[in-house]
Amino acid sequence: MKLVLAAALVTALALAGSRFSFLHLPLAGVRGSLWVRNILLTGTEFIFIGLLLGSPFLGILDDMTLVGLAPILGMGLSWIGLLFGIQWQVRRWDGVVRSGLLPALVQAGVVAVIITVPFYFLLRWSLDLSHAWCLVGALTLGAAGSDTAQSALALVGRSARGEGRALARLLRLVADLDGLVAVVVFGAVCWLPVLHGDTGSVGLWAALSVGLGVVMGLVVVALTSYQLAEEELLLVLLGTVFSGGGLALYLSLSPLFVNAVTGAVVANLSQERVLRSLQSLLVRGDRSVYVLFLLLAGAQWHPSGWSVLLLAGAYLMLRTTGKLAGNWLAFRGVVAPAVRGHMGLGLLSHGGLAIAVVVNLQQIHDGGSPVVDAVTTIVLVGVIVSELFSPALVWRVLGGARPMPSS
């Protein structure tokens, strides 16, 4: 009974949250920072609502209930993966998008490396984990940190003027593309034998991962080659999400990665009209799924000791360094040096795929593992802090010497 009530509550919150958050509100009376308003604009408050509903406080979403809600989370991960992959319709890309791909991936790759390497040693030292688990934790943090959330840029970018407008478009393009590194790196984490009871090899799990995604993609392409109404397309979509995602979770693979591969196959092999309809259906669930993830990530968050908060501080510093260095390196010869030096500050917005990666890790390896708790705390703190400051930083990078727009 409690599970049913919890599911209903979470669904209601997700639907309500998708309507009342993420709205572009006039940024009234701002002078360089947005503080609490940022939280409400980007939906981050749902992490706290989830934490309140979780075991440490109200206990409505306790550990047993969360185990029961796992299929919903799996479905959500699959939905996000499919939505991510289905946008990679390479044949529709113009020269601007194509030319932005390599720099975006390079900057995300640099961030991933700058976070992963130190954190391997930090986790080893602070949590006394084995080599394999340190690798899992460090790579997960690298994956989460490499992604740029699109919220701050979307909120602030439209108000940019003059040269700032072109820079806003570039930053948005980078934010749109760099999620690929997060999805692939975390997909690779799930190939490590340690997550499969030390059975199999990296190559085997990689082949299964990619193969499952490709097969599901081909099934969708075949089914949608018939003239289907919207309701029938939705059925195909749900079937793909449940079967692909379910199989991936059963095999302890990343539903995010597997369904991203599925989405990419569908994007590049389907008829244009079918693809548009599928994209339209998937986008409608965009915000509801994200709010759901924020709630459940918060509910599964067991804030650890103070040492993990220090690790969160290190994560923020390394991520900022990585973004600055990555963009400086990736955009050499593309962007003027004066801009390139601080461009990375405009890409600090955090959320979206980072939350999805954390939730994916929680799904694959539950049971109160110290590495899962540490990674969850580090990323959630990173998201909360980043979303407080990133809109103001974006504004500064876009040349906003004047005050931000007021109502």
Partner 1 sequence: MARAAGTTVGLLPLCLENMHILLIFVYMDDLVDGVLEALVELEVTGVTVVEGAAMERILADDVPIFSGLLQTIGGSHDKVRLVLAPLAQRSLVEPLFRLLAENGADMADPAVGRLCLLPAEFPEPPGS
- Is the Cβ of residue 100 or residue 137 nearer to partner 1 in the bound state? 100
Q: Least distance in Å: CB of 351 to partner 1?
A: 8
Q: Which of residues 45-104 bind partner 1 (CB under 8 A)?
A: 80, 83-84, 87-89, 92-94, 97
CA angle 353, 250, 262 (to 5 degrees): 50
| Residue 195 to residues 58, 63, 114, Cα–Cα distance (Å) | 32, 21, 24
From candidates 37, 234, 268, 286, binder to partner 1 by CB under 8 A = 286
- Binding marks (x or -) toward partner 1, 154..193, rule CB under 8 A? xx--x-------------xx-xxx-x--------------
Q: Least distance in Å: CB of 346 to partner 1?
A: 14
CA dihedral sign, ordered 350, 355, 357, 362: positive
- Is the Cβ of residue 18 or residue 377 nearer to partner 1 in the bound state? 18
Alpha carbon distance 289, 353 (integer Å):
12
Over the Cα atoms of the chain, what is R_g?
Answer: 20
Residue 406 as a binder of partner 1 (CB under 8 A): the answer is: no
- Is the Cβ of residue 116 or residue 363 nearer to partner 1 in the bound state? 363
Residue 258 as a binder of partner 1 (CB under 8 A): the answer is: no
Residue 401 as a binder of partner 1 (CB under 8 A): the answer is: no
Q: Which residues neighbour 281 within 8 Å (Cβ) at sequence distance 6 or greater?
A: 230, 233, 234, 237
Q: Least distance in Å: CB of 83 to partner 1?
A: 5
From candidates 230, 305, 403, 406, binder to partner 1 by CB under 8 A = 230
Alpha carbon distance 297, 14 (integer Å):
13
Helix, strand, or coil (residue 30)? coil
Q: Least distance in Å: CB of 156 to partner 1?
A: 11
Q: Least distance in Å: CB of 96 to partner 1?
A: 9
CA angle 135, 297, 152 (to 5 degrees): 90
Task: With beta carbons less than 8 A apart as the criterion, state whether 289 and 17 touch.
Answer: no
Q: Least distance in Å: CB of 310 to partner 1?
A: 30
- Binding marks (x or -) toward partner 1, 322..361, rule CB under 8 A? -----------------------------xxx--------
- Is the Cβ of residue 30 or residue 149 nearer to partner 1 in the bound state? 149
From candidates 58, 204, 283, 334, binder to partner 1 by CB under 8 A = 283
Residue 30 as a binder of partner 1 (CB under 8 A): the answer is: no
Alpha carbon distance 142, 379 (integer Å):
10
Work out the burial of residue 395: count CB atoms within 10 Å of its CB; fewer than 13 is exposed, 13-18 middle, 19 or more buried. buried
Q: Least distance in Å: CB of 268 to partner 1?
A: 13
Alpha carbon distance 208, 137 (integer Å):
22
Task: Number of residues interacting with partner 1: please give it, by CB under 8 A.
Answer: 43
Q: Which of residues 135-154 bind partner 1 (CB under 8 A)?
A: 149-151, 154
Alpha carbon distance 141, 357 (integer Å):
9
From candidates 19, 24, 161, 332, binder to partner 1 by CB under 8 A = 24
Alpha carbon distance 172, 176 (integer Å):
6
Residue 19 as a binder of partner 1 (CB under 8 A): the answer is: no
**How many C-beta atoms surround the C-beta of residue 235 within 10 A?**
13
Pick from 202, 216, 219: which is nearest to 258 by CA?
Answer: 216
- Is the Cβ of residue 13 or residue 374 nearer to partner 1 in the bound state? 13
Helix, strand, or coil (residue 54)? strand
From candidates 42, 146, 362, 377, binder to partner 1 by CB under 8 A = 42
- Is the Cβ of residue 28 or residue 67 nearer to partner 1 in the bound state? 28
User: What's the residue count for the chain?
Assistant: 407
Alpha carbon distance 183, 181 (integer Å):
6
What residue ranges bind partner 1 (CB under 8 A)?
A: 22-24, 41-42, 80, 83-84, 87-89, 92-94, 97, 149-151, 154-155, 158, 172-173, 175-177, 179, 229-230, 273, 276-277, 279-280, 282-284, 286-287, 290, 351-353
